[in-house]
Amino acid sequence: MGTQIKRAAKKYMIFYNKLTPIIYTSVVDFGVKLTVRHLCETRKRRGFTEAIWEDINLAYPTTRFYKVDNT
Protein backbone atom coordinates (compact mmCIF):
# COMPACT_ATOMS: atom_id res chain seq x y z
CA MET A 1 0.00 0.00 0.00
CA GLY A 2 1.29 3.47 -0.87
CA THR A 3 2.55 5.88 1.77
CA GLN A 4 -0.20 8.44 1.07
CA ILE A 5 -2.89 5.80 1.40
CA LYS A 6 -1.44 4.60 4.71
CA ARG A 7 -1.41 8.15 6.05
CA ALA A 8 -4.98 8.79 4.93
CA ALA A 9 -6.09 5.47 6.43
CA LYS A 10 -4.71 6.49 9.82
CA LYS A 11 -6.00 10.06 9.65
CA TYR A 12 -9.53 9.23 8.43
CA MET A 13 -9.83 5.78 10.00
CA ILE A 14 -10.26 3.95 6.70
CA PHE A 15 -10.08 0.23 7.30
CA TYR A 16 -10.25 -1.85 4.11
CA ASN A 17 -8.21 -4.95 3.40
CA LYS A 18 -8.45 -4.48 -0.36
CA LEU A 19 -8.34 -1.11 -2.07
CA THR A 20 -8.55 -2.38 -5.64
CA PRO A 21 -11.22 -0.95 -7.95
CA ILE A 22 -14.50 -2.87 -7.98
CA ILE A 23 -17.84 -2.63 -9.78
CA TYR A 24 -21.01 -3.60 -7.91
CA THR A 25 -24.09 -4.48 -9.95
CA SER A 26 -27.76 -4.57 -9.01
CA VAL A 27 -30.97 -4.96 -10.97
CA VAL A 28 -33.28 -1.92 -10.98
CA ASP A 29 -36.35 -0.89 -12.99
CA PHE A 30 -35.50 -0.97 -16.68
CA GLY A 31 -31.90 -2.06 -16.34
CA VAL A 32 -28.81 -2.66 -14.26
CA LYS A 33 -27.25 -0.23 -11.80
CA LEU A 34 -23.46 -0.03 -11.78
CA THR A 35 -21.68 1.32 -8.71
CA VAL A 36 -17.94 1.85 -9.08
CA ARG A 37 -15.52 2.08 -6.15
CA HIS A 38 -12.02 3.27 -6.94
CA LEU A 39 -9.33 5.42 -5.43
CA CYS A 40 -8.24 8.63 -7.06
CA GLU A 41 -6.96 12.05 -6.09
CA THR A 42 -9.77 14.33 -4.94
CA ARG A 43 -9.21 16.96 -7.62
CA LYS A 44 -9.17 14.33 -10.37
CA ARG A 45 -12.48 12.69 -9.41
CA ARG A 46 -14.59 14.59 -11.95
CA GLY A 47 -12.22 13.64 -14.78
CA PHE A 48 -12.29 9.97 -13.78
CA THR A 49 -16.08 9.99 -13.60
CA GLU A 50 -16.35 11.56 -17.04
CA ALA A 51 -13.90 9.06 -18.55
CA ILE A 52 -15.85 6.13 -17.11
CA TRP A 53 -19.18 7.43 -18.48
CA GLU A 54 -17.66 7.97 -21.92
CA ASP A 55 -16.59 4.31 -22.01
CA ILE A 56 -20.06 2.94 -21.16
CA ASN A 57 -22.70 2.51 -23.84
CA LEU A 58 -26.14 2.78 -22.28
CA ALA A 59 -29.34 1.17 -23.51
CA TYR A 60 -32.70 2.55 -22.52
CA PRO A 61 -36.36 1.73 -23.29
CA THR A 62 -37.40 2.97 -26.71
CA THR A 63 -40.45 2.59 -28.93
CA ARG A 64 -40.25 2.58 -32.71
CA PHE A 65 -43.15 2.77 -35.12
CA TYR A 66 -43.04 1.63 -38.73
CA LYS A 67 -45.60 2.50 -41.34
CA VAL A 68 -46.19 -0.34 -43.78
CA ASP A 69 -47.38 0.69 -47.24
CA ASN A 70 -49.68 -2.06 -48.57
CA THR A 71 -50.35 -0.55 -51.99
Q: Which of 57, 61, 63 is nearest to 34 (CA)?
A: 57
How long, in residues, is the chain?
Answer: 71
* Alpha carbon distance 22, 16 (integer Å): 13
52-66: average pLDDT: 76
pLDDT attached to residue 2: 75
State whether residue 40 is helix, strand or coil: coil
Does the structure show a pLDDT above 60 at 1?
no
Instruction: Specify whether the backbone of 36 is left (phi greater than 0), alpha (psi in -120 to 50) or beta.
Output: beta
Q: Which is more confident, 40 or 60?
A: 40
* Tens digit of each residue's pLDDT (9 = 90 or more) over 15-56: 777 778 888 999 998 778 889 888 888 899 899 888 888 877
Predicted model pTM:
0.52
Does the structure show a pLDDT above 80 at 14?
no
